[in-house]
Each structure stands twice: as structure tokens, then as C-alpha cells.
Structure 1
Amino acid sequence: MVVGACEPQVPMASDFIPEYKGVETVLLDGDLVQFNVAMTKALSTQDVADYAECAAARYTLIRGYGFARHVRTNVDQEGGIWRADAVYTISPSLPRGIKTIDAEVTTQNCVEKGIPTV
């Protein structure tokens, strides 16, 4: 007697661990940078946006700056792959606006959460 073929599969812990598929960085103009990220097993659009923010924070540090300001993020999901296209400005001092990030603090938070950076 074969049993189990029709039974629903029990989710495994690995089914809920995000897989980060990489970051593509595009310098648009001087201090304006686009980050294209991809991942699987995201639980929401916020997971993908967080991945893009982590990439932006680390890139900001690599370029020798301390701060970034979020301009926009577009998120899409197709065939199990989540993608985000996010744009940030980077600067040596705290930029004007409400969606600013301290690159060093944000990068550290990403490391603690296990989200890869550039």
C-alpha cells in the first residue's frame, strides 16, 4: 500500500529561508545609484526592499560616503523570483528628506539580520 502521494507536504524550515540571488549596481548620475536585486522565498515585498536597502548602504560605504536617501523602489514577483529596482542618492553628509539612512548603521543591521550586502 502506497501512502503519501496525495498527502500535502509538510513545510520544512528551509522553505522559509530567503535565497539572495545577487545585486546589480548601476551608477545613473554622480550620486544617483540604481540597485537591481533578486531573491526567492521572500515573505513580502518588504523583504526585497530590505535587500535593496542593504545593498545601497554597503555601496555607500564602499564609495566613501556615509549616508543615502531612498528615492524609489519597484518590486515585482514572477515565477517564484522576487525582484526590486531601487534608486538611492548617496552623500557624505545627511541629505534632506525623510527616507534617509546612515550607511554604517544600516550595514551593521543587515549583517545582524543575515541580509547580504554588495
Structure 2
Amino acid sequence: MNRFALITPLLIAACAETGTETEDLPFLPEYMGVETALLEGDLVQFDVKMKGARDGKDVDAYAQCAAAQYALIRGYGFARHLRTQVKEKGGVWSADAVYTISPSLPAGLEPLDAEVVVQNCSANGIPTV
């Protein structure tokens, strides 16, 4: 009898993933607030925190929603993402994001139409500022 034939199925079973995939888990976010700081001119920093994020994309989306609403509050129609730093500690996700806000479509990567983003945030249940 070939011992490797018996061991291989056991090894395969042992190496198989166990548990539930993250997309199977219910998404029950707890949005814990936004702190906003005007850095200089049109540069704005957003510090957001949440629990229940599936990954960094969820907390990044929360920061984007805050930036879009902030732009509208200030009378601007657009924002442009500059950078986001995401961390997770003890189940609390945080993002430190910096955006520029402007009255016209900004040049560069990742410009956001603030009205469209805020509508999408509302449709997805993500709070804004």
C-alpha cells in the first residue's frame, strides 16, 4: 500500500480553508465619527473611525463620503483624493485621509463629483459629515 496516497488527502483537507469567507458575513458597520481639519487653503484632513469594517476599503469609503459632504458644505462641487492611511486595532478601523476641495473639476487622479458621491453614500447607508 502506498502511504503517500493516504497522507495526501489528509494534507489537502488540513490545508483547506476553514471558517466563513468575509463576503458571507453580514456587514454591520458602526460609524464612530469624523474629525475634520483644514490644513491649508483647499487641503482638508479627515480622520474617521468605524467598527465592523470588512477591510480597509470600507473605512476608506467612509472617509470619501465625509470629504464629499465637506466639499458641498463649503460650497465646492469637487474633491480630489491625495492619500489615505488605514489602520485596524482591536476591531476599530481608522483612516487618516487628505483631500483637496475645489469649485471646478480638479486635474489629477481620483477627482470626485461631490454631489454624486454623497448620493451614493446615502444609497449605501454611509454617513457623511
TM-score of Structure 1 vs Structure 2, range by shorter chain = 0.7 to 0.9
RMSD: 1.4
Specify the alignment match of 1:80 in structure 2. Answer: 91
Partners of 1:27 and 1:61 in 2: CA distance: 15
Q: Which amino acid aligns with 2:50?
A: M
Give the alignment's TM-score, normalised by structure 2. 0.80
Q: Which amino acid aligns with 2:110?
A: K
Greater Cα radius of gyration, structure 1 or 2: 2
1:47 matched to 2:58: yes
Match of 1:32 among 34, 43, 68: 43
Q: Which amino acid aligns with 2:86?
A: V
SS of residue paired to 2:88 = strand
Partners of 1:88 and 1:16 in 2: CA distance: 27
1:19 matched to 2:55: no
Partners of 1:113 and 1:15 in 2: CA distance: 14
| Structure richer in helix, relative to its length | 2
In the alignment, structure 2 segments of 5+ residues that lack a partner are: 1-24
Deviation at 1:53, TM superposition (A): 0.1
What is the number of residues matched between the two proteins? Answer: 106
In the alignment, structure 1 segments of 5+ residues that lack a partner are: 1-13
Deviations 1:78-111 (A, max 9, x none): 0110000000000000000121000000000000
Give the alignment's TM-score, normalised by structure 1. 0.87
1:117 matched to 2:128: yes
Deviation at 1:32, TM superposition (A): 0.1
Q: Give the share of equivalent positions with the same residue, in percent.
A: 66
Q: Which amino acid aligns with 1:52?
A: A
SS of residue paired to 1:55 = helix
Partners of 2:47 and 2:57 in 1: CA distance: 15
Q: Which amino acid aligns with 2:38?
A: L
